[in-house]
Structure 1
C-alpha cells in the first residue's frame, strides 16, 4: 500500500482526490498513514537518516540543533525532555509508526531513552493533534517512522563511529525487496564513558556512563494487488549512570527496556482504503539507589492496542476518514505504592476533507475518547489551506486537545490523586508561507490555553502530591527559512528557524520554567561531487529555572556551533569528521549540569 497511491499521487497535483487518475508506481508501505494527510494542512519538519547522523550522541542533540524545540537535558545522555511552544514534556506526544508511545507512568517520553538510529525518517509537527494521536498531543508531536519499499533488491549499510569521552557507536541495516515481499532489519549499539569536564564550572561528569542497544525488524507481504500485511517491531535496552557532583558521592543508575510490535492489514482501492492495526508495547524500568544494590523502585507497563483507519472518497473532492481505537493499559509498580492497574480506553474520530479547488482545501475533525474512570472532553479540529498566490500560501489550524492523568499522577504513594481531571487545551495557529526563488519562509504565530494543568506541589504532610493547579497561556511565533540550490556539481541546502515563546502561569503572570523566550537554530550543507561539508548552530536566550523569574538562578544565553566534513569514494565508502561546540561555549539546558565543551568524532559508512 502507498497511502492510497500517495493520496492519489498527492491529489494528482490538482489539490483534490481524483481517484480516476491513479498512476502505477513502485509501492512504498508507510506505517504512519496519517502523516501525509497532515502535511496537506500543517507544516511538518522532516529529518532524514543523514540529518540524524550529524548529531550522533542522542535524540536530544538532533532535536536541539535541527528543530524549534527546547530540550532540557540533565547532562549529556541523561534524563531529557522536550518543550513545544512553551509547554511541558508531558504535552509532547511521541508517535512510533502511528502509535502513541508516551509512558503510561510518566505521561511523556524520555528522549534519551528513545532509540536514535533505525528510522527512515523523523518528523516534527508543532501544534495540537489529539484528534488523531491522542493524549499528550497538546504542544506538538514527534514521529519516528519506518517504511518498506518494494522492487528495490538488496541493500546493506554499516556505520561506525569513535568519538570523545570514549564514545563508540555502531549501526547496521540490511534490506531486501521484490514485487511481493519486503524486509528490513537494523541494529544499533551505543556506549560512552561520558566523563567530560567543564573546568570553568568546576564540573566533572562523574558516573556519567551510558549505553543502549536497539534492534528493528520490518516485513511486508503483498497478498494481492491492493492488499498487504506488514509487521514492524523494535526492541530497546539501555542503562544510564546518573552523574554525581563529588568523587565519593552515592552512585546511582537507571535501566529501561522497551518492546514495540505492530501488525497491519491494509487494503487500498480507487475509492476506499482501510488500515487495521494491532500493536503491543511494553515498558520496563528500574532505578538503583546504589549501583551495587538491588533496584530501589521500578515499574512494568503493557499496552494492547487495536486501531482501524478507514478512508472513503465520497466524490473526487470529498474524503471521509474514520479512526477508531481501543486500548488495554496494564501497569505494576515496585517501590512506589502502585499495585497492579488495569485501564481500558477507546476513541472514535471522524475527519472530513474537502478540496474546493486545486489551491483551496479544508479539514474538519471531531473525536470522543472513552477513558475508564474519567469524563473525557469532546475534541475537535479545523484546518484550512489556501495557495493564494504563486509565492504565498496561508494555512489556519485550531483544535481542542487533552491529556489524561498518568498512573503516577493517580496512584503513586504517597502523593497520587485519584480525583484529578484531564488537562484540556484550546489552540490556534497560522502558517504564512512565502516562496522567493529557491528560498521558502514560513511564519507561524500561535496561541494556546491549557486548563486544569497537572502539577506536583509540596503538602503540609511533608510529601509532594499531584493537583490540577492552574491555567497556562502560551503565545508566540515560529519561523523557518529553507533554501535549496543545485548548480552544476554543487548542492547547497539551508534549514534555519527562529522561535519566540511566551508561556505564563495565568495566576502569577510569570514565565514557565525552562521556556526560553528566544531560540535560533540553523543548518547549512554544501556538497560538491564526493565532498560534503555542514555547519550547524543554535542560540538560546535567557531561560528561567524557577517559578518567580529569579535572574540569579536563570540559565544565561549561549551560542553553540558544530561542523563536519565527509568524503564519499566509489559511491560506497564514506569517511567523515565532526567537531562539536567549536567555540568551547559553556552552556547548560538544566541548572547544575553543564554540557560538553569542544569534542570530536570520526566515522565511516559502507553501503553495499
Structure 2
C-alpha cells in the first residue's frame, strides 16, 4: 500500500508543477540543500553558526554546540557517546538533519554527536522546538542541521588546517573547491584522533582505554544543466574507532567501530516563481561493538535506508507554498535484531503569508503512512508581529511525534512490537529586540509529551520497552549579542545565553534524570585586524541520576573557562595561527556520574589557504 501511495503522488507531481503559470515575482537562484530551514521557521527561535565559527574551533561537534547553543549534552566521558537534550527532552527526541534529511539512527532513534566531525560543514543551524512536519519522526525538542550549501560562485581554493594538543590529540583537515563554467566542486577530508589519557586526580591514574579516532570524507558537486535545471550531489563517509574509558581497572576493555555513508542526488528546477526538487538518497549505518578486547568477542549491526523526496515551491505576491512528498524504506540486520524493516510514506503542505507589512503567519501540515503504526496527523502554526522595526513578537505551536526505534521493536528477547509512537504538543512565545549594537531575545516554551518509551523489567526480570511515561517540559531561554567598534579594524563582541528548564514526570512530579534546571554560556571577543582573543564561559547546573530525585545521587554543577588567541598572517598564504587553553582553572568535573572529564588542556592550530 505504501509503495502504491508514493508512486501515485510522484506521478502527479509534473501536473502540479504546471498548475500555476501566473507571472509574478521571480525567485532568486539558490543552492540550498534545506530550503525549508531558511523559509519555514515563522515564530521559532533559530541559531546560525557560520563557517568562520566552525573553523575557529575544534572539530568536535559536541564542543561547538555546547558553546554556541542552549543544548545540553550528556557525555559518557570525553570523546565517548554524546547525546543531546533540547528543552528537557531525550536524545531520541532531537533530530539531526544532514542537508535536509533526518539521519538519526534507525536503531536507537538518536544521534551520537561524537561520531560526527564539524570541520567540513558550510554552516550549522540549531532550531529549537517541534519540527516533525518538516523532518519527521524525532523532531520533538528541536533539530540540529548540518549543511553543505554552495554559493552561486566559488573560486579555486586549497585550505589546510592542522592542530596538535594535550593528550596527544591531532586534528587535520584539507579542503579543495573550484568551478569550471557550469560545474562546481568541493572536496574535504577531516580527521581527529587522541590518546585521551588525561589525569584523573581522584583516582590517582590516567584515563585508561579512552583513545579514539574519527574521520570524515565529504563531497559537494553541482552541475548547471541549463538556465532552469541543476543537478547536485552530496556525499559523506564517516568512520572511526573509539575505545570506551574504563570505570575500574578490573573492567574488560571495550571499543566501538563505526562506518556510516550518506549519499544524496538532487535535481533542482527553477522557473519564474516556481521551484521543484527531486531528492534520492541512500544512507547506511554499520557498527561493531567489542565487549571484551582480550577475548575478541563482538556484536554488530547494519542499516540501509533508501530515501525519495519531491518538493514543489511556488511564490505568489506575499504567499509562499511548498508541497513535499517523501518515502523512505529502512532495513536492519544484526546479532540481536529480528525482522527489522520499516516503510514510511508522507505528504506535507507548507503555507506562509505576509498578511500585512508587519504581520506574517504560516501553517504546515503532514500525514505519514506506514504498515506498522497509526501515524498521527501533524500540524504547526506560527506567527511574527513586528511592533517596531527593532521589536518583534513571535509565537509557534506544533504537534510532533517519534516512532519507536528498531532496538525498541525488534531487539531479540527484549523488543516490543506493540509500542505506540510518542506524541508531543509544543508551544512557545517570545520577543526579540534588535538595535544597531545590541540584540536581545527571550522565549518561553511548554511541551506536553505522552507515551514516552522507557525500558523496564517485566515480571520475569527481562528488560523491555513500554509506553509508560507522560512528561511536561517548560521553561525560558534568553540570549543577548552586543557589538561595539572601538576604532578602525577593532571590535568587541559579547554573546550570552541562559536557559531554565523543568522536565517533569507527570506521575511523580520529579525532574527527569540528566536534565539541568539551569544552563548558561558566554563569549567575550576582542578582534583586531591581525589578532584576536576569545574568552568563553560555560555553566551546567546539577542533574539528578536517580528517578526519585535523591539529592545524594546527582552530578554536581560545573563551570568551565576557555581562552583562545589568534594571529593572522595574510602575507604568508593567508594563514591564521591559534592557541587554545581549555578548562583553564583545571576544574575536576563530570557530565555523567562516575565519568571524569579532562582538566586543563592546550592546543595549537594553523590554517593556511593557497
TM-score per shorter chain, which class? over 0.9
Partner in structure 2 of residue 333 of structure 1: 334
SS in 1 for 2:591: coil
Instruction: Report matched runs for 1:171-186 at 5 Å.
Output: 171-186=173-188
- The secondary structure found in structure 2 opposite 1:132 is helix
- Residues 338, 412 of structure 2: 8 Å contact kept: no
Separation in 1 of the partners of 2:588 and 2:314?
55
Counterpart Cα distance in 2 of 1:570 and 1:145: 28
Assess if the C-alpha contact under 8 Å between 1:152 and 1:178 holds in 2.
Answer: no
SS of residue in 2 equivalent to 1:352: strand
Determine the structure 2 residue equivalent to 1:589: 591
Mapped to 1, the partners of 2:386 and 2:586 lie a distance apart of 45
C-alpha separation in 2, matches of 1:342 and 1:411:
9
| SS, match of residue 63 in structure 2 | helix
Q: 2:556: which partner in 1?
A: 556
Shift of 1:280: 0.5
In the alignment, the residues of structure 1 paired with residue 79 and residue 194 of structure 2 have an alpha-carbon distance, to the nearest angstrom, of 9
Specify the alignment match of 1:318 in structure 2.
319
Structure 1 residue 308: deviation in Å? 1.0
Secondary structure of 2:543's match?
coil
Query: In the TM superposition, what is the alpha-carbon distance from 1:47 to its structure 2 partner?
Result: 1.2
Correspondence list, 1:284-303, <5 A: 284-303=286-305
Deviations 1:49-91 (A, max 9, x none): 3323454152111111221011010110001100100000000
State whether residues 137 and 401 of structure 2, in contact with CA within 8 Å, keep that contact through their aligned partners in structure 1: yes
Asked if the contact 2:433/2:439 (under 8 Å) is kept, the reply is: yes
Q: CA deviation at 1:374?
A: 0.5
Deviation of residue 321 (structure 1)? 1.0
Q: Deviations over 1:315-337 (max 9, x none)?
A: 30122211110011111112x1x
d(CA) in 1 for partners of 2:296, 2:200 = 32
Question: Do the aligned residues in 1 keep the contact of 2:502 with 2:511 (CA within 8 Å)?
Answer: yes
Contact 1:150-1:177 at 8 Å conserved across structures:
no
Work out which of the residue numbers 224, 237, 240 in structure 2 matches 1:238.
Answer: 240
Q: Distance in 2 between matches of 1:603 and 1:286?
A: 32
* 1:9 equivalent in structure 2: none
SS in 2 for 1:238: strand
Distance 1:389 1:19, change over 3 A: farther
Worse-superposed segment, 32-41 or 588-597: 32-41
Q: CA–CA distance in 1 between the matches of 2:41 and 2:423?
A: 24
1:481 and 2:480 correspond:
yes
* TM-score, length basis structure 2: 0.93
Query: Given the superposition, is the C-alpha separation of residues 145 and 417 from structure 1 closer, same or farther in structure 2, using an over 3 Å criterion?
Result: same
1-side partners of 2:42 and 2:159: how far apart?
33
Q: Cα–Cα, structure 1 residues 585 and 459, in superposed 2: closer, same or farther, change >3 Å?
A: same
Q: Specify which of 601, 604, 610 is matched with residue 602 of structure 1.
A: 604
Residue 515 of structure 2: aligned partner: 515
1:102 aligns with 2:104: yes
What are the equivalent positions in structure 2 for 1:377-392 lying under 5 Å apart?
Answer: 377-392=376-391
Gaps of 5+ in 1: 1-17
The corresponding residue for 1:5 is none
Q: Equivalent residue of 1:29, what SS?
A: coil
After TM superposition, give the deviation of residue 39 of structure 1 in Å. 4.5
Q: Which shows bigger deviation, 39-48 or 436-445?
A: 39-48
Look up the match of 2:222. Answer: 220
C-alpha displacement of 1:271? 1.5
Measured in 1, the distance between the counterparts of 2:491 and 2:183 equals: 35
Q: Which residue of 2 aligns with 1:15?
A: none
Q: In the TM superposition, what whole-angstrom CA distance separates every residue of 1:267-307 from its partner, at most 9, and x where no partner exists?
A: 12222111110001000011101224445212100100000
SS at match of 1:589: strand
8 Å CA contact 1:562–1:579 kept in 2: the answer is: yes
Q: Deviations over 1:345-373 (max 9, x none)?
A: 01001111111123211100111011221
The aligned counterpart of 2:127 is: 125
Asked if 1 retains the 8 angstrom alpha-carbon contact of 2:24 and 2:273, the reply is no
1:433 aligns with 2:435: no
- Give the stretch that moved more between structures: 483-492 or 150-159: 483-492
Aligned pairs for 1:143-542 (under 5 A) are: 143-200=145-202, 202=204, 204-313=206-315, 315-334=316-335, 336=336, 338-486=337-485, 487-542=487-542
d(CA) in 1 for partners of 2:496 and 2:181? 40
Contact kept? 1:148, 1:183, Cα under 8 Å: no
Deviation of residue 20 (structure 1)?
5.0
Contact 2:42 2:383 in 1 (8 A): no
- Separation (CA, whole Å) in 2 of partners of 1:577 and 1:593: 27
Residues 517-555 of structure 1 deviation map (CA, whole Å, 9 limit, x = unaligned): 000111222210110211111111121111111111111
Is the partner of 1:409 in helix, strand or coil?
helix
Instruction: After superposition, give the CA deviation of every residue in 1:121-141 in whole Å (9 maximum; x if it has no partner).
Output: 011110000000110000000
Please state how far the C-alpha of 1:197 moved relative to its aligned partner.
Answer: 1.2
Partner of 1:546, secondary structure, is: coil
Name the structure 2 match of 1:111: 113
CA distances 1:5-50 after superposition (whole Å, capped 9, x unpaired): xxxxxxxxxxxxx9855587xx551211211113454221111233
Partner residue in 1 for 2:5: none
CA gap 1:431/1:202 in 2 versus in 1, 3 angstroms: farther
- Identify which of 65, 77, 88 aligns with 1:63: 65
